Structure 1
Amino acid sequence: MSTVYVLVEHDDATITDVTKELITAARPLGEVTAVVIAAPGIAGTLAPQLAEAGAEAVIAAEAADLADRLILPQVDALSMLAAATPGPIVVAAGPTGNEIAGRLAARLASGVLCDVVGINADRTASQSVFGDSIQISAAVGGASPIYSVRPGAIEAAPVAAAGALTAFPLPGATTKDVTVTGFAPAIRGNRPELTQAKVVIAGGRGLGSAEGFALAEQLADALGGAVGATRDAVDLEYYDGVYQIGQTGQTVSPDLYIGLGVSGAIQHTSGMQTARKIIVVNNDEDAPIFQIADLGVVGDVFEVVPALINEINAQR
């Protein structure tokens, strides 16, 4: 059976939900080999989790100086593995994952498909294009085709596997490497990552101000979700741009999306309409967002949402 490589996303102690999704997505292509790029000792900690998720093999590509390097360690490890034993490569879509995918395609002379929402055994992949309005099936060539998979688009279905751990000598830094001279980690709150959240509360221009987004945060906390924003809200400085959802922001595919004061411009809906359930609250009954909503509430968000939060808390 052929080998398919999956680049592991992790936080040193645990693998992320998107890694479980990648392993599930990659399984139709062959036996999954999970590739861990980390500091020494981390791969051994992650190996049982990866085996439980479905990895037949785990490659420990470790080096002590990884904190000072960007992109190239992942590209080096995956390209060397695929050059020795060709096979498809699956990474998480996003700025970093897509750059890795592009560099791998150049090194391995293979095709690349980005932001796919499904992978088939014949090496074709499903993509949702033109603002998620059209679903297509795309083919890719080469001995080691590369796929970047949209986080949240595929439901993880763990199937326990061997997870045999093997060390892999990672090349050292060269003059081509970027040198990190300073690093300030993002301060994480208690909410889940936007692209991996099962519940997303999105605020739009209708929230009226940065203070209005406190309402979105309260609802997100009540439901254990993440907060996102439309481009208009970000442009008006209601919310930080890293939480923007849409064509020029992040793409989310949660189980539940709730839009508050969101009009439904294609710029935003292209990044969220693959959500499994869409609920919106807007005082404009003609807002385009109602056309894709499973449930729409015409009303004032500052009346509807507090009542909803009170009801949620009352049910606990």
Structure 2
Amino acid sequence: MAILLIAEHDNASLSDQTAKALAAALQIGSDVDVLVAGKGAKAASDAAAKLKGVRKVLLAEADELSERLAEPLAALVVSLAGSYDAIVAPATSAGKNVAPRVAALLDVAQVSEIIEVVTPDTFKRPIYAGNAIQTVQSTDAKKVITVRTASFQGAPEGGSAPVETVNAAANPGLSSFVENKLSENDRPELTSAKIIISGGRALGSSEKFQEVILP
């Protein structure tokens, strides 16, 4: 089974969400290609090529891909989809933005936020705010899947996959980038943190949280 994994990156570096989604993809099939779509993203593609289990890296660069807008990225993925049995993306804000568009354009049902691969066509995913686990079997010829990456250990380095340049698809022109408004936090992303410390109602106040938990 051939799989296309959409990489999570900021052009300069590859997110560890990609390695975790790769671990899930390798449980679905052994032939996994990684798509790095952006602008000036050679460093991210080189990092993806070093992940163990990657068959090859597809590097697509264009102005409309520099901010990873969902519409041009979805058009690119669909243009490549003919060679693949499954499209996989981490369930990040970017992945959850593009995957439904890809599924709609391919006219298939998306399997969202999987936490376990049972078989190549059967997956487990949380429902009801995580209070129940649903087992889903997909009968679509092409599968579109997002991965809840906290449930998978990242694939290690040790690979040496070739990097192949591909052309961007025609830009649908449905959206344009205006600006980024990002919240700044000195803590790591929750899905990337190795240790998570929480304090709730027992602490009584924000001041007590700062006093007891943060040190």
Q: For residues 78-93 of structure 1, what are the structure 2 equivalents within 5 Å?
A: 78-82=77-81, 84-93=82-91
Q: Alpha carbons of 1:116 and 1:159: their partners in 2 closer, same or farther (altered >3 Å)?
A: same
Indicate whether 1:55 and 2:82 are aligned.
Answer: no
Partner of 1:37: 37
> 1:133-185, CA deviations, whole angstroms, 9 ceiling, x for partnerless residues?
43332111222201111121111233644421111111354431x22223334
Which of 148, 164, 187 is equivalent to 2:184? Answer: 187
Amino acid of the structure 1 residue aligned with 2:180: F
**Counterpart in the other structure of 1:3:** 2
CA distance in 1, matches of 2:192, 2:70: 22
Match of 1:27 in 2: 26
Larger Rg: 1
Against the structure 1 CA distance between its residues 8 and 68, is the aligned structure 2 distance closer, same or farther, given a 3 Å change threshold?
A: closer
Q: Higher relative contact order at CA 8 Å, sep ≥6: structure 1 or structure 2?
A: 2
Cα distance in 2 between the residues matched to 1:3 and 1:151? 20
Residue 103 of structure 1 and its aligned partner are, at CA, apart by: 1.2
Provide the TM-score with structure 2 as the length reference.
Answer: 0.86
| 2:164 aligned partner, one-letter code | T
Query: For residue 153 of structure 1, what is the aligned residue in structure 2?
Result: 151
Residues 1:127 and 1:105: Cα distance change in structure 2 (over 3 Å)? same
Aligned length, in residue pairs: 213
Pair 1:211-2:210 in alignment: no
- Could you tell me which amino acid in structure 2 is paired with residue 123 of structure 1? D
The 4+ residue runs of structure 1 with deviation greater than 6 A are none
Root-mean-square deviation over aligned CA pairs: 2.3
Distance 1:15 1:55, change over 3 A: same
Instruction: Give the gaps of 5 or more residues in structure 2.
Output: none
Matched with 2:193 is 197
| CA–CA distance in structure 1, aligned partners of residues 32 and 205 of structure 2 | 47
Identity %: 25
> 1:69 and 1:156, CA in 2 relative to 1: closer, same or farther beyond 3 A?
closer
Aligned to 1:111: 109
* 1:72 shift after superposition: 1.4
Structure 1: give runs of 5+ residues left out of the alignment.
Answer: 220-316
- Alpha carbons 2:36, 2:58 under 8 Å: kept: yes
Q: Which amino acid aligns with 2:192?
A: Q
Question: Which residue of the partner structure matches residue 64 of structure 1?
Answer: 63
Query: Cα offset for 1:74?
Result: 2.2
For residues 49 and 109 of structure 1, what CA distance do their matches in structure 2 show? Answer: 32
